[in-house]
Amino acid sequence: MDGPWCHAAYRDSRKLRFPLLADFEPKGEVARRYGVYDRQSGTTQRALFVLDKDGDIRWHYVSDPRVNPGADGILAALEQLNPKGAAHEPA
């Protein structure tokens, strides 16, 4: 549930050329759709999803809420979807 400003900073630092979804407001709307929102506690699981151009889930990972899963897995999944590296701007 990082905010859009956090995702913009991450996108810019990694020179990514695709949108990142921030499920910030309304709180948990997208997490509910993907089954990672805990209604009882009002929190979202730590989850990462990679969607293809058709909106199909191609990769996902749900981690222990006490552990930041980092970006390595999601970046590797993106590379597998597009091995030519088109997800990144040229160096």
> Which pLDDT score, from 0 to 100, does residue 45 have?
84
Q: 32-90: per-residue pLDDT in tens?
A: 889 988 888 888 888 888 888 898 888 888 887 777 767 777 777 777 777 665 454 44
The two three-digit tokens of residue 5, written as one number: 């400003």
In a domain, 74, yes or no: yes
In a domain, 90, yes or no: no
Residue 60 falls inside a structural domain: yes
pLDDT value, residue 55: 86
Residue 19 lies in a domain: yes
Domain range spanning residue 48?
4-81
pTM value is: 0.63
CATH code (residue 50): 3.40.30.10
* Residue 87 lies inside a defined structural domain of this protein: no
Q: What is the pLDDT of residue 91?
A: 38
How many domains does the chain divide into? Answer: 1
- Tell me if residue 83 falls in helix, strand or coil: coil
Report the greatest alpha carbon distance in the chain: 46
Residues 6 or more apart whose CB falls under 8 angstroms from that of 9 comprise none
pLDDT of residue 24: 66
Indicate the residue type of 17.
R
User: Whose CA is closest to 73, among 60, 86, 85?
Assistant: 60
